[in-house]
Structure 1
């Protein structure tokens, strides 16, 4: 029994000694193997998306210019209309009365003018015979002028009454689509009441904001071929589907927004199927081209105090931090302005485990890997 216990103690000690010896054995540290990418110059087409607001080329409020009861509604919401088409009809009864009153006033003025003409001829005859004083003729002529002015005033009143009648018929100012109709037949409409809006959807404006740097780059595109060149733009709809027609940038606003430091660009898109509607949103995809650009993948970059850094591998396979200045950032890449050059080897990924001066085992990526990465990002 005692010998059995001694054996157990011996085995336990042996196991403990073995564990102690293994824990004290130092581990062998290997140089971490990380993917390394050699930078090259290349031509690239870069896409950048901007939040866009869509507006119809014309979106006009249709308001009543006279008051009255709404007798007829000849259109419905969403209906396409043509220029000059009758949309609403207000009751004309009271305005027809005004026409009759104006017509009667005109006839009365004409009669007064005829009476004044007869009176003037009579007075002239008596003056010629020295029966009455010449001042009577002057007075008669003044009455004649007053009668003619009354006729002109009556004609103007009649024209105004006819205009008011015409304004009870509300017509489309251009080809477009009817929007919401807030009133129903029989409603009392006041002068200036908003009856609906009409949108011309044949073409659509898309407004999007770009930074001052991007604005300057687009302005200088014709002077310097190495700058970003703005071409046609694409539209991504709210469900991220691509709109089938391309748009073109036509103009910009003239003032930068003080809060954001951006300026609005306007692109025009054709809308033959009226798929796009006023007030919709989407993404404007701006395609730009850079020649002989040095691209750095976003994975390889880390930021310290708003500066961009990468790990560059030197001739001894040690990593060194280096800052660089990007000219732009598009998708998953930086376009290098300064600080890096073709031939530099940068760590592509795994930068979290590195520190400055660490020796690594570089795992070189193929020379065309950056092009493959860029193509996959598109």
Structure 2
């Protein structure tokens, strides 16, 4: 009899393991959970792509004459204006070359003046029948040679002045300057390579590849808008959305044979400098009027072999809902295409212990907190 009682107790315990969650839970204790309301929001019809930020202008600064670097006149990473002086090469030798060229030009001009006087005398003597045609022609040839020497010396002086100007290396564009590859005291010249780089800041380009299938679908659409009016939004790698809206300004004329994609470029305002050259971003093309969609935090979604589901609070208990996630949403939010109608209390906090059918005590959680 005692053995039978023990057997029945054991069966009772084993059977308790198979009871549903609501039978196992103490009726007086409800699991505290954090919830948010499944909202219906106006979501832009958008196509998502992966893009990269590119500077509109990018310049590699190089030395154009050879000499000792006398000064580095900028701070790495700072914003500089167009024409700001970046480097200075010792100018002494170049100033001397300018003076030497000036002296040569003065001599050649003096020789030209003399040749003009001699030609006038030769012509005058010839007019008086006291000179010869040969002497006059020789004087004219000497004058032409003197003029040629003046032209050559003027060019030499101009070259010397240009080279002197190259000792002051200035920024050809406005933008942000990078690291310097040389310091004061080094010899620099045309063979020294890139001294530093400058990239423009506002606006910036965002380039992204569009598959040939998507491109053809857009081209064949009867109500496709003007590409210059297609809004472009971007999101950063942490999911945050960039506050400015760009516009498509260029579509490549050929298809990349390796990837079967067309490169599209958008112009994006960058007044605060949040975009950086080479940055990887998510690109959303706004291709239609906004539609009302149900939006929930991504933190509420759970995936298994059957797909994606979430928990809602229904009559004080947790209920599982299979959903179909769609494209769109803002930042860490996700659009739900099927499974919710809006207004449901979606569980986002305490999901580790939630099971279908258990009693829950719902506490509203702010939307911002649910996205952390």
Residue 10 of structure 1: aligned partner: none
Post-superposition CA distance 1:239-277 (Å, at most 9, x none): 221111122222211111112211111111111111111
Shift of 1:215: 1.0
Shift of 1:197: 0.9
Residue 201 of structure 2 aligns to a residue in which SS?
Answer: strand
Post-superposition CA distance 1:200-241 (Å, at most 9, x none): 1111111111111211233344x3469x99831211112221
Please give the TM-score of this superposition, normalised by the length of structure 1: 0.63
1:204 aligns with 2:204: yes
User: Does the 8 Å contact 1:82/1:175 carry over to 2?
Assistant: yes
Residue 22 of structure 2: aligned partner: none
1:174 aligns with 2:193: no
1:231 aligns with 2:230: yes
Moved more, 104-113 or 47-56: 47-56
1:219 aligns with 2:198: no
What pairs with 1:289-304 in structure 2 (closer than 5 Å)?
A: 289=288
Residue 112 of structure 2: aligned partner: 113
User: Does the 8 Å contact 2:229/2:247 carry over to 1?
Assistant: no
Q: CA distance change for structure 1 residues 130 and 60 in 2, over 3 Å: closer, same or farther? A: same
Q: List runs of 5+ in structure 1 lacking aligned partners.
A: 1-42, 293-298, 303-329, 334-366
Shift of 1:185: 0.9
Residue 351 of structure 1: aligned partner: none
Structure 2: distance between partners of 1:140 and 1:276: 70
Shift of 1:286: 2.5
Q: CA distance change for structure 1 residues 217 and 271 in 2, over 3 Å: closer, same or farther? A: same
What pairs with 1:1-378 in structure 2 (closer than 5 Å)?
A: 45-191=44-190, 193-221=193-221, 223-224=222-223, 231-289=230-288, 332=326, 369=339
Shift of 1:49: 2.6
Q: CA distance change for structure 1 residues 272 and 133 in 2, over 3 Å: closer, same or farther? A: same
RMSD: 3.2
Residue 250 of structure 2 aligns to a residue in which SS?
Answer: strand
Residue 16 of structure 1: aligned partner: none
User: Does the 8 Å contact 1:229/1:289 carry over to 2?
Assistant: no
Q: How many residues align?
A: 263
Structure 2: distance between partners of 1:368 and 1:57: 42
Q: List runs of 5+ in structure 2 lacking aligned partners.
A: 1-41, 292-302, 307-323, 328-336, 347-372
Moved more, 118-127 or 131-140: 118-127
Larger Rg: 1
Structure 2: distance between partners of 1:194 and 1:97: 27
Q: CA distance change for structure 1 residues 185 and 225 in 2, over 3 Å: closer, same or farther? A: closer
Shift of 1:291: 11
Structure 1: distance between partners of 2:218 and 2:177: 38
